[in-house]
Amino acid sequence: MRSGSTSSTGRAIVKSIWLAYKATQQIAKSLRLDEQDEDLKAFYAKLIAYCTIIEIRIISVGESTLSLSNDCLHTLLLPLNGISTVSLDRLDNISINIWPRDLAEIHDKIRRIKDNASKIEIIRTHLNLGTTPGERSKIAKSLDQCEEELRVRYPEDSSQWAAEDLAPQLNIGEPTYAVWGAAQSIFKAMVACMNCPCIPAHDFGARLRLDTYRKPKLDLDVEMDEVDFNMFLSSQQDWQEVVVHTTMDRQVKVMFDERHKPSPEDLCEQIAKIKSRALYRLVFKVTRSQLFKLQSERSGSSIQKSQNAISLDDFLRNKSDSFTEKTKRILAVILSSAVFHLHNTPWLESGWNSSDIWFFRTSSSAMPLKPFLHRPLSRLDNQCIVDPDDIDPDDIDPDDVLSHECPALVILAIMLLEVYFVAPFDILAQRFNVTLESGKQSTAFTRYVDVNGVFQACQKEIPENSQFYLAVENCLDPKVWQDEEGNKLDDPTLRARIYSQVVLPLETELSQAYSDIRIEDLDRFAQNFNFGSWGQSAHVWDQGNSDDASQSNYHASIAPAAPHQKSYGLPLHLHNRGDEFRDERAQQGSPLNKRRYSRSPSGTEAESFVSDLPTLPDAQVYPRSSYTVGILCALPLELLAVRALLDTKHQRPKYIRGDSNTYALGTMSDHMVVAACLPSGEYGTNAAADSASNMKRTFPNIEFCLLVGIGGGAPTHESDIRLGDVVVSLPTTKYPGVIQYDRGKEIEGNTFELTGSLHPPPRCLMTAISSLRSNPDLPSNALQSSLEEVTRRVPETFGSKYQHPGQDQDWLRKAVCAVCQRQGECPNRDSHLFKRPHRSTSQPEIHYGLIASGNRVLKDAGVRDRWAQEYGILCFEMEAAGVMNTFPCLVIRGICDYADSYKYKRWQHYAAATAAAYAKLLLGHTAANITNWDRSSEDEAVKK
């Protein structure tokens, strides 16, 4: 391979091989997603892992290096030749170039099919993944040998490894980088068409829909050739829907006559001409910054242009109950993607904020979660551009210089905090006692100082190990946006860093919390997601403003935003009328308020169950500051057991701005207790961290939190853990009681090293545990009275579920059996079971030690046993790691299964009851912070 053409051919072959491994990985992921057989699922997981590793190897070594070695190319081709239905054994075979593209098309076909048999029928024409365990083992061995050969030939440079790699581990594809240039072109093209002859003269305005611009299908092209921009244009008081097609800068044959190109004076006329055709939208095409009009088309949108749009600032001030944890995370991704795509373009002004983000209503008064960025269209040649050479250094005021190289990220940090806490920035600053710059126009420097101050004040209420915290921290760290020598980054490098340091962490947090949302499909998902119907509250809010509702929407949009609209640096003006309306709505339980409460299981299923409990005579209202103990559950069945053990019930608090939790209040063993449950469908450390942060913010005097619920046991010879037993987190000399088993790094020797640290339980609970364990008078059935109370107080239909299912229903299997998995029964079941003697009683035992926490359900006995042996793990669960650094807390888990592939739902209720019973027992041995609340305190509570 001496000639340039031969070298080029070699690089093309390497690229085709890389595409083949990538497409195979995508197909394996699609098969694994809907596979029920655990053996096949494990095989697909191996296939995904090997393909991913080989892809990374190819990228790290480089096409040029690999293409120079025929031996290496044959090594890469060997596994592919084993699974391909066409021959790939020769480097000059044309199939090497065609086959990867065929695989990509196959993946696009099967990704929407749920039945794996149908998928395999489609795949078998190009891909043979084996029909027997022996064939699949041979495929895995071939991939392993290929990976080993690459690792030996091209060892990694260990000096390139960071000391600690905390990068997200989810498989989220790279975004497109084509939007930035297209956005520049479209703005220039539209501004060039603003010379209309209308008298009197008027302004132009645009509202650009903010998208992630991701493609939902596997695209073999590095960049998207075309980007479509959806927007609304306005020349006077009417907003007209428009779609603009853009093409990357390259030689393009324009498919219409140059005479039909609209002159700059025609844009206003085009908007006026289509005004009478309400069901149509204008269609333009931009090529090389020139605007061409195409044939108009029917609009598929249900947006009502005649209704006033609502800004994000309006939502934050007057409609905070529209925000859920899901909407907050989606908005964070969309807003950060906007900065990634539009920074250093005319679309993002230096002072943009939440007053510039707008939402349109639909005909049904719904509000799709699709934000539009408002931008007045002004001529670029009228903008003042200062030549740095004309500036005298002695005339520069240090306060006018921003050390941060990307001011748009500073504003993004402000908006992310606004969305997270569901409060405009000025109100957020007041909440945390931070004084903002006032009395003059805010500058980039004062904004940077202000948001840094607010973030420092409120960061304790954001889980430090969350991806959201990382994204905001990176936005504000100026060193992230400089090179190693402190110089400004070029635009491509800056865009790549915005994605990796800000957008990707937010995408990761969204994906981890909501597995049903694919980042590639987020634009489509958000379009169909109702952000909340403004309805009557919009009417009431408009009455509180002096401007006429029909006119304020346009004038607040086209002209530069008035000072009173800005969410940044705004003095706090709360209209009494609006406050009275919100309080009245909370008291009356309007549909909007009901919707807010119903998203949490403690407000639906658990609420309906526990509402059948007898109403206790002292159901009073106490101030939120009187509660000192928090209890957090993941499932309604867990919260039901906790609420059944409350000694007294208190009335729940009224509407709490910015808090999506629903609470159950009362006393337990003389402690003032507040209990909550994760929202339905949400699970894992991120969801738990959000709920804990809301609880801590709403009830500021909570001293510690108990995480009460179910978990998977890890029995060993030393710890005879049975179903129904209780495991309590207890620190060891090396670990703080809970370890996050999915956070760490792979190191040499195929070993996994834990990284990060969690806080230990509070000393008051450690001393209470010591007191409990050293009490000689503690009966062996110390939990029995509470267990009986749970079965007595829950509704009769659930009482039997909270009783012990019987020791004959407690099975610990030696290994996975495919027949047991598929059918639940197996003729050889007894041979798979560990023989354990029956206990003399069915009373649960209490175990103290390490608990492992992660974002995924563990269903692997081999992994369970390895962690139990290496770290001494007694239990696996999914929420604790997200709460440990938010609250001082203790984890209490009733064992409902053995963290293997056999899940026993029949044990879940009883395990939840034993965990709740232990929580009550422990609180009885913990000193209570008792305060006498007089009538004035109750009056304070009513005001809250």
> Mean pLDDT, 10 residues at a time, over the chain (944 residues)?
52 81 86 82 84 79 63 82 76 70 84 84 87 88 85 62 40 75 82 66 77 65 64 73 70 40 57 73 79 77 68 85 83 92 83 86 77 76 46 48 74 93 90 75 80 89 81 88 82 87 88 78 82 42 33 34 34 33 33 32 44 48 89 93 93 75 90 90 77 86 93 90 94 85 57 64 90 88 92 84 89 63 57 79 93 81 83 88 80 91 83 96 85 44 42
Helix axes 407-421 and 325-342, enclosed angle (nearest 10): 170
The total number of residues shown for the chain amounts to: 944
Q: Residue 803: what residue type?
A: Q
Does 277 share its domain with 217?
yes
Does 184 share its domain with 141?
no
Does 56 share its domain with 198?
no
Strand 726-729 to strand 226-234: parallel, antiparallel, or no bridges (unpaired)?
Answer: unpaired
Reading the block at residue 298, the tokens are 């029917």
**Amino acid 709: pLDDT:** 94
C-beta of residue 306 within 8 angstroms of C-beta of residue 288:
no
Q: Is residue 167 part of a domain?
A: no
pTM, full prediction: 0.49
DSSP per-residue letters across 403-461: S-S-HHHHHHHHHHHHHHHTS-HHHHHHHTT-PPP-SS---HHHHHHHHHHHHHHHGGG
Q: Is residue 8 part of a domain?
A: yes
Does 466 share its domain with 503?
yes
What 3-state DSSP class applies to 191?
helix
Does 428 share its domain with 494?
yes
How many domains, in total, are found in the chain?
Answer: 3
Reading the block at residue 364, the tokens are 């049904």
Instruction: With residue 877 as reference, give the H or E element that holds it.
Output: strand 873-877
pLDDT tens-place string over residues 113-159: 878 888 888 888 888 888 888 888 899 888 888 888 887 877 755 44
Reading the block at residue 38, the tokens are 């655990």
What 3-state DSSP class applies to 847?
strand
Question: Beta partners for 752?
Answer: 746
Does 146 share its domain with 294?
no
Q: Is residue 806 part of a domain?
A: no
Does 710 share its domain with 826?
yes
Q: How far is CA 210 from CA 93, 137, 789, 797, in A?
A: 45, 47, 54, 49
The domain boundary, picked from 527, 548, 583, lies at 527
Q: Is residue 540 part of a domain?
A: no
**Amino acid 845: pLDDT:** 94
Q: Is residue 885 part of a domain?
A: yes
Q: Is residue 583 part of a domain?
A: no
C-beta of residue 623 within 8 angstroms of C-beta of residue 660:
no
The domain boundary, picked from 480, 509, 527, lies at 527
Q: Is residue 489 part of a domain?
A: yes
Q: How many Cα atoms occupy the beta-carbon half-sphere of 147 within 13 Å? A: 18
Question: Beta partners for 877?
Answer: 853
Does 828 share its domain with 764?
yes
Tokens 């695989």 sit on residue: 103
**Amino acid 34: pLDDT:** 79
Q: Is residue 165 part of a domain?
A: no
Domain holding 145, by residue range, is 4-157
Does 444 share its domain with 485?
yes
Q: What CATH number is associated with residue 725?
A: 3.40.50.1580
Torsion of CA 443, 445, 448, 450, to 10 degrees: -70
* Cα end-to-end distance, the chain, whole Å: 79
Reading the block at residue 718, the tokens are 């030393």
From CA 301, how far away is CA 177, in angstroms rounded? Answer: 27
Q: How far is CA 426 from CA 303, 508, 572, in A?
A: 31, 29, 7
The domain boundary, picked from 490, 510, 527, lies at 527
**Amino acid 46: pLDDT:** 84
**Amino acid 383: pLDDT:** 47
Q: How many Cα atoms occupy the beta-carbon half-sphere of 816 within 13 Å? A: 19
Does 200 share its domain with 141?
no
Does 117 share its domain with 208?
no
Q: How many Cα atoms occupy the beta-carbon half-sphere of 560 within 13 Å? A: 6
Does 122 share its domain with 199?
no
